[in-house]
Structure 1
């Protein structure tokens, strides 16, 4: 958390990710807010993988949604390859966002794009057909 105080998000996230402590990572994510644009591609990949896994937990959705909103904004403004996200992580993120959208309701106080809008935006930008997620 000391690196967060001096403003080096990449170092702060690298240190927390190296511990394997999911609770500490969630605290850092809450404290820093979405910082996708301040992280290296490697750290971004790890954080997005974590977010994809957390999407299936209702109590973590608010945290994840703000990061996905920032990701969608970056991708829409700068193109689909801006962060060099591997296809595996893109698919996992979209699959779990799709699962969330089908089974849960977005928080009432959410002011950004709806989960289905984010899903559509990212899938479209990344050229991923959402129909292959349907069962």
Structure 2
């Protein structure tokens, strides 16, 4: 709960993390996404991740392919409504940055 509290109160800081810590953060966010209570905390972090990847390229963080797929899958499944534009756009942008085709 302390990590969730820090994530909520610090806001997204993924752009300031080392590759190893960023991967740990992404893995943690991936596990939080299915719980709708934490969805609102995760989205700003995902938005910042997309911004960092679009600016710096997919080489910015060396995210293992399995984590990329799990992350995108959990994010797609967690999106609260198919009519929400922002999460759908984030999924597409993130998949594009990671060279993954989403259906």
**TM-score higher than 0.5 here?**
yes
2:92 equivalent in structure 1: 120
1:30: Cα distance to partner? 1.2
TM-score, normalised relative to structure 2: 0.91
After TM superposition, where is structure 1 displaced by more than 3 Å over at least 4 residues in a row? none
1:105: Cα distance to partner? 3.1
Alignment of 1:93-108 (within 5 A): 93-101=71-79, 104-105=80-81
Question: Structure 2: 5+ residue runs without aligned partners?
Answer: none
Question: Structure 1: 5+ residue runs without aligned partners?
Answer: 1-22
2:33 equivalent in structure 1: 55
Distance 2:76 2:8 in 1: 23
RMSD between aligned residues: 1.7
TM-score, normalised relative to structure 1: 0.70
1:85 equivalent in structure 2: 63
Count of aligned residue pairs for this structure pair: 102
Which protein shows a greater Rg?
1
